[in-house]
Amino acid sequence: MNKEWQQCVKCGMTYDLNNVVYQCTCGSMLEIARDPAIFQKITKDQFKSRRLSTKDIDRSGVWRFREFICEASAPHAVTHPEGNTNIYQRDELSIFGAVDNLWFKHEGENPTGSFKDRGMTVAVTQAKKIGLSFVGCASTGNTSAALAAYAAQAGLKAVVFIPDGKISTGKLAQALAYGAHCIAVQGDFDTAMTLVQEAGRDCGMYVVNSINPFRPEGQKSIIFEVLEFFDYESPDWIVVPAGNLGNTSAFGKAVLELYNAGWIKKMPRIASVQAEGANPFFKSYKNNFAKLEPIKAETYATAIRIGNPVNFEKAYKVIQSTNGVVEEVTDHEITIAKQTIDRSGIGCEPASASSLAGVKKLVAAGIMKKHEKVVCILTGNILKDTDAILKSSTNAVKVFSGDLKKLKELLAAL
């Protein structure tokens, strides 16, 4: 029996690891499954000790956990390396969120500036392993930047479908700089996602959005690092921005695997936070996940401006199995939270700040408690969307005319 395979999340049908397939014949999504014995063949100290190695595969915060990610692909790893991002605490953020034990895992410290690098290293590695040369994705920006960088490293042709006029300049510039071919789509992310799936079926393009089951495997490593940081004593909550729900799905899979293997004694609760203008998951949650009704998404937090999340089927099961919650926050609440994070000296892109805004709202509602240990995931770098900073900043640029007397007056007034 193989140690790893692809498996339908609904009917359990299995597929060989090297088959290019994104959905089961029953229509449901796939995930990477593995022999449970794998979790007993390696120790926590072995994972930690790999950080002392000079090999890229061991220095990667994804591939040093390779036995729990995709061991069969590891010899082919396309890695920068990524991961091993920092975890921060700041008094002003604890005060803002009204939680004493509040932590921030900053995925904006990855090579291209977002958590997407973790999933992309696994997906592009798989493409290289099975001999593919053409990869593509739909993106609001971060996925395109990650795909472009990893495809360039692997020597693969990359095409990204982006919603025309709805991607930040910085993210678009990254994709172009790394050499990806960019196609602007008349419509939103969901339109682009439909097109990329058609290209995957009809044009031989390997799709690396999170419908690809290898992507969430890499994103699980965020949770492995969080738990390792706390010596496998689970926090009470892990709070994550929610757009296409890839992280929600990956995080749940990670904690369930480690809990079932006995690596952790309790499962952290997952809180997925959506923008009010892009909240189909929240609406479904309020209706006990009876169904998902796609919406026309609109929020200035472009990374989560998604109205028809492809990972709904996986994500709602994560919320149920971890006793989690789904919350929504307004663009104004995101802006205030972002300004607070930025002025703590950490900084993040708008979508990231929905995690802190969600904490504040959940505490106010009595769902999250002041004494609980809470970890917020910051998904992207502060420079991912500079336009958002310039539009919302309360600090106007002051002009110096050359008059030293006026300069002194200006400085005295600060």
**Is the pTM higher than 0.75?**
yes
- Looking at residue 338, its pLDDT comes to 98
Average pLDDT, the chain: 96
Omega prior to 81 cis, within 30 of 0: yes
Structural domains in the chain plus CATH codes? 87-113+215-392 (3.40.50.1100)
Structural contact between residues 166 and 188, judged by C-beta atoms closer than 8 angstroms? yes
| DSSP category for residue 366 | T
Element (H, E) at 5: strand 4-8
Model confidence over 180-200: pLDDT tens digits? Answer: 999 999 999 999 999 999 999
Q: CA angle, corner 133, sides to 127 and 139, nearest 5?
A: 70
Model confidence over 282-291: pLDDT tens digits? Answer: 999 999 999 9
In whole angstroms, what is the distance from residue 27 CA to residue 130 CA?
24
Taking residue 137's Cβ as centre, other Cβ atoms within 10 Å add up to 34
- Looking at residue 212, its pLDDT comes to 98
In whole angstroms, what is the distance from residue 304 CA to residue 105 CA?
18
Q: Which contacts qualify for 224-231: CB closer than 8 Å, 24 or more apart?
A: 224/47, 224/65, 224/68, 224/254, 224/258, 225/61, 225/83, 225/84, 225/85, 225/105, 226/87, 226/105, 226/375, 227/258, 227/263, 227/264, 228/44, 228/47, 228/48, 229/87, 230/373
In whole angstroms, what is the distance from residue 245 CA to residue 199 CA?
22
3-class SS of residue 375 = strand
Distance from the Cα of residue 294 to its chain's centroid: 21
Structural contact between residues 367 and 358, judged by C-beta atoms closer than 8 angstroms? no
- Looking at residue 370, its pLDDT comes to 98
Q: What is the mean pLDDT of each run of 10 residues along the chain (414 residues)?
A: 90 97 96 95 96 97 98 96 98 98 98 98 98 96 97 98 91 96 95 95 95 98 98 98 98 97 97 98 98 96 96 98 98 98 97 98 98 98 91 81 89 89
In whole angstroms, what is the distance from residue 298 CA to residue 288 CA?
24
